[in-house]
Structure 1
Amino acid sequence: MKLTVRGRLTLVYGGLFLAAGVVLLGFTYVLVKQQLPAKALITGGSMAGQPPPPELARPDVIFQRVVEDTRDDALSALITQGGIALLVVGAAAIALGWLIAGRMLQPLHRITDAARRIAESPAADRGLHERIALAGPDDEIKQLADTFDLMLTRLDRSFDGQRRFIANASHELRTPLTLNRTLLEVALHQEPASPEVRQLGTTLLAINDRHGRLIDGLLLLARSERELTERAYVDLADIASHVSGPDIKAELAEAATVGDPVLLERLVQNLVENGVRHNVPGGWVRVATYARNGLATLEVSNTGPVVPRYEVEGLFEPFRRLGTDRLAGPGVGLGLSIVRAVARAHDGDVRAVPRDEGGLVVTVTLPAAS
């Protein structure tokens, strides 16, 4: 188990304090030992010229023994009492160091909490509006917080610019596409048009429609990655019943949530269309809705080609599908990207699991309506 920074700082502080205390205690022991006499100095003779009594014979030996015992007791008491005092003060110093380290690291906890909230935000840019705004002296920690705030500001501007660019470009492209469609339809309905011209016009109309769906998908993707401004009671089972066709197996139970009805309808529609489009002849598509553990769940499964597990995550990227980087064929390659963006905008999640027999099981979970 790895220690936290607070624990390591406390151990370093406490270790240094105890080491310094041991050195100080040892130095004091040496000084006191040098100051205490090792031998007694006996001067003079017997008292009043009388011979010493037998029990006081050799007083220098007895006094020397008393001096040595006193010296040993003093040094022993110094080591024992000093060691106990060092341990008590060391424990208090370690506890104080733990409190001081926590106090000093508190601004770092604020930075970590802010970064975690932004990273766990369901929408890609929802948390970028948050700032740490750390107050206090202009030290290293405040400089780190200010740098983090500056990074968030630039990321926020980048996301806003990206959304505005997609929205503006999509709107600007709608006009020429609408004009092209009108001119093609007029040319096709003219009597002198030859079969070759009509075939060319039909092909160009199909290409025009494809580009129109691509623009609509980009607009919807840009909208779904913004914070929701409209929320209403929505039952996923009602949406699935309207979207599902007669050839789709439906097992629909109430799965109520709160969100944007237009975006949620597009989410269900994209999943069902994706299951139908990427199916095999004679296969099946199943749609199920239910509420469980505080979550409204939509599950769409189908038979289809075998999907390697390592390619599942790439299917949620824009303009990607199985086995190719660019989409060639029906669709515009934004279906699952829009599904994930809409789910995350509603504080939900989406996951796909490949079936061993072929096909996918795509599950969308959203917070259930209270």
Structure 2
Amino acid sequence: MRLTVRGRLTLVYGGLFLAFGMVMLGVTYVLVSQQVPGKAVVRGATGITLDSGVAGPQPAPEVFFQQVVRDTREDALSALLTQGGIALLVVGAVAIALGWLVAGRMLQPLHQITETARRIAEAPAADRGLHERIALTGPDDEIKQLADTFDLMLTRLDRSFDGQRRFIANASHELRTPLTLNRTLLEVALQQESASAEVRQLGTTLLAINDRHGRLIDGLLMLARSERELTERSYVDLADIASHVSTDDIKAELGEAATVGDPVLLERLVQNLVENGVRHNLPDGGWVRVVTYARNGLATLEVSNTGPIVPRYEVETLFEPFRRLGNDRLAGPGVGLGLSIVRAVARAHGGEVHAVPRDEGGLVVTVALPAAQPWP
């Protein structure tokens, strides 16, 4: 188990204190031992008698006093080491406790930075939560400079993402006008009796291309909208939406899966998944199954189908815009934004999307959203 920064700082503080304390105790011991004499000079010992009650030969007075001096010196030095060691341990324990408190106090700004970064990282979408700031107060030291730099980075990222969303929305709206005009002109041209077969064939092809571009623009608008904060929340049952968008040839096992969110976005989520399963299904002998249920506080939607074998390393790329299996750019009837919109809508509602390839071919795509609280 690795120690935290607070624990390591406390050990450093305590270790340094005990090390310097031991050095000081050793220096004090040496100095005291030099000052306390090891023997005494005895002059004029005449007239001093020893205890007559002691049997046996009595030592000379000078020898007796030298022994007393040596014993006193050893007792003093021993008491110095013992009492000093005990005092060092007690004060060291207090110093370690104070070091723990001081380290926690010093690391409090870092905890604030970490909590802000964690909230931003755990936001449903990449740009969600970028409006938060640390706004650390206190002296202009290294930690405050780090927090201010982090706030500056968040400000620039927030502006960048916001500008990207506005660009997509504005560009999509601006492109609607020429596409609508092109469609009107083509329809008028095709209705003329003088139009030849070649002109009608060309007009039909151009209308199909125009419709594809229109779906692309609608997808970009939906993607830009799904990545914003939700402004509308209401009770939605995924089973009702799945029943509405599913056709008779789709296997449906629909149990109640209620959540709270934007009904339009959630309908698009379910519709995109079902249409994606149908579009990439096997033409003969294939099937598409839609399952909804509520379990463990999650409203879950599962869409599985048969289809081509999908390598596991390519599953994640299917959720990127304008990507499809085996190709960087979409070349089929879709516009390549279906699964990207699904993931963006799910994350906007605090959920997540997972896709698992089937061994026989096809995918199992699972959307898990926070379940709605039961009515009181």
Shorter-chain TM band: over 0.9
Return the offset for 1:57.
4.0
Return the offset for 1:124.
2.5
Which residue number corresponds to residue 105 of structure 2? Answer: 103
Q: Could you tell me which amino acid in structure 1 is paired with residue 20 of structure 2? A: A
Contact 1:250 1:286 in 2 (8 A): yes
Q: Could you tell me which amino acid in structure 1 is paired with residue 255 of structure 2? A: A
Which residue number corresponds to residue 37 of structure 2? Answer: 37
Return the offset for 1:45.
4.1
Distance 1:338 1:232 in 2: 20
Return the offset for 1:29.
0.1
Which residue number corresponds to residue 132 of structure 1? Answer: 134
Which residue number corresponds to residue 353 of structure 2? Answer: 350
Q: Secondary structure at the match of 2:157?
A: helix
Q: Could you tell me which amino acid in structure 2 is paired with residue 107 of structure 1? A: P
Return the offset for 1:77.
0.8
- The Cα offsets for residues 202-228 of structure 1, whole Å up to 9 and x where unpaired, read as 111111000000000000000000000
Contact 2:238 2:259 in 1 (8 A): yes
Residue segments in structure 1 that go unaligned for 5+ positions in a row: none
Greater alpha carbon shift after TM alignment, 122-131 vs 199-208 = 122-131
Contact 2:130 2:154 in 1 (8 A): yes
Pair 1:304 & 2:307 matched: yes
Which residue number corresponds to residue 14 of structure 2? Answer: 14
Greater alpha carbon shift after TM alignment, 212-221 vs 51-60 = 51-60
Which residue number corresponds to residue 123 of structure 1? Answer: 125
The correspondence for 1:340, drawn from 338, 343, 347, is 343
Return the offset for 1:231.
0.7
Q: Secondary structure at the match of 1:127?
A: coil
Return the offset for 1:146.
1.0
Give the TM-score normalised by the residue count of structure 1: 0.97
Q: Could you tell me which amino acid in structure 1 is paired with residue 252 of structure 2? A: A
Which residue number corresponds to residue 169 of structure 2? Answer: 167
Which residue number corresponds to residue 176 of structure 1? Answer: 178
Distance 2:157 2:300 in 1: 32
Return the offset for 1:2.
1.7
Contact 2:309 2:359 in 1 (8 A): yes
The correspondence for 1:241, drawn from 240, 243, 256, is 243
The correspondence for 1:143, drawn from 112, 127, 145, is 145
Contact 1:275 1:302 in 2 (8 A): yes
CA RMSD of aligned residues (A): 1.5
Number of residue pairs the alignment of both structures matches: 369
Give the TM-score normalised by the residue count of structure 2: 0.96
- The Cα offsets for residues 215-264 of structure 1, whole Å up to 9 and x where unpaired, read as 00000000000000011111100000010011100000111111110000
Q: Secondary structure at the match of 2:129?
A: helix
Distance 1:353 1:61 in 2: 96
Distance 1:56 1:63 in 2: 13
Q: Could you tell me which amino acid in structure 1 is paired with residue 181 of structure 2? A: L
Change (3 A) 1:30 1:51: closer
Distance 1:329 1:56 in 2: 120
Identity of aligned residues (%): 85
Return the offset for 1:140.
1.0
Contact 2:352 2:368 in 1 (8 A): yes
Distance 1:57 1:311 in 2: 100
Which residue number corresponds to residue 263 of structure 1? Answer: 265
User: 1:249-288 counterparts in 2 under 5 A?
Assistant: 249-281=251-283, 282-288=285-291
Return the offset for 1:123.
2.5
Q: Secondary structure at the match of 1:234?
A: strand
Distance 1:57 1:34 in 2: 28
Pair 1:185 & 2:187 matched: yes
Distance 1:51 1:260 in 2: 107
- The Cα offsets for residues 318-357 of structure 1, whole Å up to 9 and x where unpaired, read as 0001101000011000000000000000011110011111
The correspondence for 1:363, drawn from 358, 363, 366, is 366
